[in-house]
Amino acid sequence: MTELEIDRLGHRGDGVATLDGRSVFVPYTLPGERVRATFAGDRADSVEILTPSPDRADPPCPHFGVCGGCLLQHLSADLYAEFKRTLVVDALADRGLSPPVSGTITVPPNARRRATFAGIMAGKRPVVGFHQRGSHAVVDIGVCFVVTPRLLEAKPALEAITTLVQPRKDALDLTVTDSTAGLDVAVGRLPAKEVERLRLKLIDLASRFDLARLAVGGEVIVERRPPVVRIDGIPVVPPPGGFLQASAEAEEAMARIVMETTAGAKRVADLYAGVGTFALRLARHATVYAAEGDAGAVAALDRAARTMTGRGRITAERRDLGRRPLVEKELEPFDAVVFDPPRTGAPEQSTWLAKSKVKTVAAVSCNPATLARDLRTLVDGGFRIESVTPINQFRWASHVEVVAVLRR
């Protein structure tokens, strides 16, 4: 074994040390710790902590270190918040940007209302939980400090689905949403013959476990009650397995910044609008154009918008903004633009925003690196970054959400 000292945390949360002039990664360690480790390539596969850091915390979960869902429960709250902020600062610096970055907003434990579990058969026994880190193996989860209690209560139903389907090689993806009407379960794709063979049994299973809705591969098998989530008090029924901000608390934090940024704007474009996380709120004070590439999300937003009273009009359009971004002339009517793209970011749309006369932009992202690239484009086009806020939606993971405010 090799003895060495941890220099810093890497972007995925591993401790980073120097060995023979190269960087090596030591999982579950902290800066300043002295450790003894063996290595397989550049990554330690056996670690002994010799001198623990004062910032080391006792992980609350008994599955920590085995389950790949949480990687950073061993960090103190202050170090963890600063780690998330540093991820954002470093990504911006890589693009030559140094705007003010606020402290990290962190959601509480057990706040995640939507999660994807894995289900596999171990002999005749169903195993439902999360994948081990860097492995296809599934950890049978008995407790979880990330998801809402009701999501964990879905486990018997998920075990029953796994037993019914009998996956042997690849684990089932089992996406569960905690809706106001109960559990909304979406099973990953199955062969069409399997769906037809199991349809009646799946309907019976949904009744037995009182599921609000059960879908397979995007097809609704049975909807016993509409699985409503409320966005700013407005009922929305997302498409099966569709995108939803993982926690209501993080959604509120993002929306608060977006609403403050766009206050006074009368016409707002919400790009990559999803089911209306921002559009439904923006309609409090503005007429909203909402563009989204997923047909199910657009339909859900359109239905929700029709139930609104006392708010501005929302026009929802299905549009692939990667292939067909809003160009300069199309952006002319808008006082402000909000965009919240997938991890790949919005390079095409940012290019056109930079050329436009839009005065205010709220940029939301789950990937600091692609956000920094897009902000660089906007700054080069005449925008100034007013504020950047990291939001720790995925507690104890290395992911971070960011909201940036830009004005000309």
Q: Nearest-CA neighbor of 82 among 66, 62, 106, 58?
A: 106
Residues forming a β-bridge with 115: 176
Residues forming a β-bridge with 184: 177, 213
Report residue 260 as tokens.
């403050």
Report residue 259 as tokens.
């609403």
Helix (H, G, I), strand (E, B) or coil at 174: strand
Residue 207 has a CB neighbour count (10 Å cut-off) of 12
Helix (H, G, I), strand (E, B) or coil at 282: helix
Q: Where are the beta strands (DSSP E) in 188-250?
A: 213-216, 219-223, 229-231, 234-236
245 CB-side CA count, 13 A: 32
Q: Nearest-CA neighbor of 362 among 337, 384, 381?
A: 337
Verify whether residue 366 is a known catalytic residue: yes
The pair phi, psi for residue 239, each rounded to 5°, is -65, 155
User: Position of tokens 């997923």?
Assistant: 294
Contact call for residues 182 and 210 (beta carbons, < 8 A): yes
Contact call for residues 36 and 3 (beta carbons, < 8 A): yes
> Which residues does the annotation mark as catalytic?
366
